[in-house]
């Protein structure tokens, strides 16, 4: 579907924002400089008549985003968690994008279930409600299993959602290409790679079998986390377009007045949301990457319930250690160490000045300390951080996109519960625990043991591998018999010794 026709889609995007009045509202809410506001309005105004009309009953930005389609709605969901970036009024308007979009009819949902699962709805369920929540990709119905009487949630993909997403993502690819062509400096941000990453994430979200597997794995990882619950899937009633899970009963995380009325401690919930996310990301390397208010509930006993596992993040152990060191450096105000970690990980080109980078990071971190979150303009901090990354030639790390995006969303959720929460102070206990367990002497011994086990498995093959390598190095000379075998025997002994050391270390740990 990629091609010049996507120019039309981009034009209609700007035209829709102009026609609905969303352009002016969004630019002002995000404190865009006056000159850029004027430029955006001038470029959008001639095409205003081409924009979608949207639902006049909705506020301007929400009206434009819902008219443009699911990919835009996803972006709006992220912004809805950031009142410090878009302003509290706009954030509140955008919150409806999380789970209060127009639903499709119940007959279509039932037909989709029967087509995907191959069983009649009336035979499987003794009750099947009208939609209780409708989001950008799917909607949810509450139902009761006829066989057991268990209440479940039935998630059904929107009709034609795959085609709609592909259309939007194709336009995003074109926009990224145009940005890279028009602004060579933007290439360090890898806009095309970012869109490809986004495309992969979204396409995975459109197969509910993968979401069921993600829910199952996430539930296994977090089963011992106090005050946290994950509904489990009903596997025999789940397919590509339909998924059935345990029903999660609770107060929506976005309804703060109801949470307070129920007697819950909102600041404590805020801290727990932040700590849970960091624990999952650092401890497990597998985390819920769509943790906005629409995907979280508070149970009557105060437990946090997470659901909607279409987007999950995964990071390897090395990246987790780098991320933890960066967070800990900020928490400890050790900006020199934060800068060094960036250089060691290759995030900043080695020809840049580490001391200058440390001073620039200090300008980002210091405003956060000594004041609560309500006094910090996250929009200005993000703008300055962007300037820093540009000045020092940092490239976008696609493996960290979901982690960084989710961190922003989670902080927004936490601050909606406690506007005075300081993210760094809330993160400190989790990060310190991770550092203590994964960057100290015991961690080094574990790494050694793991390496030894891997080498030990290759022990029987070491002589042959060594001999083959030596033969390749000495060709075309054929005088390699006795020396190669001696070296091979030495390597075999070394491999055996390392394996034994690994077993010993493993026993110690």
Please check whether residue 243 is in contact with residue 205, taking contact to mean a CB–CB distance below 8 angstroms. no
* Residue that the structure tokens 């997470």 belong to: 306
Coil, helix or strand at residue 306: strand
Which residues have C-beta within 8 Å of that of residue 70, sequence separation ≥ 6?
136, 137, 158, 161, 164, 165, 168
Strand partners, 286: 314
DSSP 352-419: S-HHHHHHHHHHHHGGGTTS-GGG--HHHHHHHHHHHHHHTTPPP-GGGHHHHHHHHHHHHHHHHH-T
* Residue that the structure tokens 């100290």 belong to: 440
Would residue 353 show up in a list of annotated catalytic residues for this protein? no
Coil, helix or strand at residue 100: strand
Coil, helix or strand at residue 136: coil
Cis peptide before 476 (omega within 30 of 0): yes
User: Considering 116, 168, 290, 418, which one is annotated as catalytic?
Assistant: 290
Please check whether residue 378 is in contact with residue 82, taking contact to mean a CB–CB distance below 8 angstroms. yes
Residue 394 phi, psi (nearest 5)? -70, 135
Catalytic residue list: 290
């Amino acid at each position: 579907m990629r091609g010049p026709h996507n120019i039309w889609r981009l034009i209609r995007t700007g035209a829709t924002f102009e026609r609905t009045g969303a352009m002016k509202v969004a630019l002002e809410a995000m404190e865009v400089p006056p000159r850029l506001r004027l430029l955006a309005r001038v470029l959008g105004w001639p095409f205003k008549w081409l924009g979608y009309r949207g639902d006049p009953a909705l506020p301007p930005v929400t009206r434009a985003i819902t008219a443009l389609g699911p990919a835009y709605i996803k972006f709006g969901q992220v912004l809805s968690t950031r009142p410090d970036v878009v302003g509290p009024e706009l954030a509140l308007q955008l919150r409806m994008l999380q789970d209060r979009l127009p639903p499709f009819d119940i007959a279509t949902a039932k037909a989709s279930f029967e087509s995907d699962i191959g069983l009649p709805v009336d035979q499987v369920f003794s009750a099947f409600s009208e939609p209780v929540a409708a989001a950008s990709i799917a909607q949810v119905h509450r139902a009761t299993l006829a066989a057991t009487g268990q209440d479940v949630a039935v998630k059904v993909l929107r009709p034609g959602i795959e085609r709609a997403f592909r259309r939007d993502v194709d336009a995003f690819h074109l926009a990224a290409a145009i940005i890279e062509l028009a602004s060579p400096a933007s290439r360090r941000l890898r806009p095309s790679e970012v869109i490809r990453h986004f495309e992969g994430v979204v396409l995975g979200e459109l197969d509910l079998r993968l979401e069921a597997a993600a829910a199952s794995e996430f539930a296994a990882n977090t089963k011992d986390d106090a005050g946290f619950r994950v509904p489990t899937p009903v596997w025999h009633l789940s397919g590509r377009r339909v998924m059935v899970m345990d029903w999660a009963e609770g107060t929506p995380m976005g309804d703060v007045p109801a949470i307070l009325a129920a007697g819950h401690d909102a600041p404590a919930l805020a801290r727990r949301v932040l700590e849970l996310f960091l624990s999952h990301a650092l401890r497990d390397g597998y985390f819920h990457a769509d943790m906005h208010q629409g995907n979280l509930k508070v149970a009557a006993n105060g437990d946090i319930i997470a659901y909607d596992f279409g987007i999950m993040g995964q990071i390897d152990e090395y990246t987790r250690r780098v991320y933890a060191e960066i967070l800990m450096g900020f928490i400890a105000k050790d900006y020199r160490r934060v800068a060094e970690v960036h250089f060691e990980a290759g995030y900043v080109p080695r020809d840049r000045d580490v001391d200058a980078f440390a001073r620039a990071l200090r300008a980002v971190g210091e405003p956060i300390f000594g004041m609560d979150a309500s006094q910090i303009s996250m929009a200005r901090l993000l703008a300055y951080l962007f300037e820093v990354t540009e000045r020092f030639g940092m490239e976008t790390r696609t493996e960290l996109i979901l982690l960084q995006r989710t961190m922003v969303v989670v902080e927004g959720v936490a601050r909606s519960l406690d506007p005075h929460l300081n993210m760094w102070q809330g993160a400190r206990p989790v990060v310190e625990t991770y550092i203590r367990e994964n960057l100290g002497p015991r961690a080094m011994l574990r790494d050694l043991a793991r390496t030894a086990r891997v080498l030990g498995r290759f022990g029987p093959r070491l002589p042959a591998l060594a001999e083959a390598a030596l033969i390749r190095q000495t060709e075309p000379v054929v005088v390699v018999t006795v020396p190669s075998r001696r070296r091979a025997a030495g390597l075999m002994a070394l491999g055996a010794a390392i394996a034994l050391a690994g077993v010993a270390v493993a026993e110690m740990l």
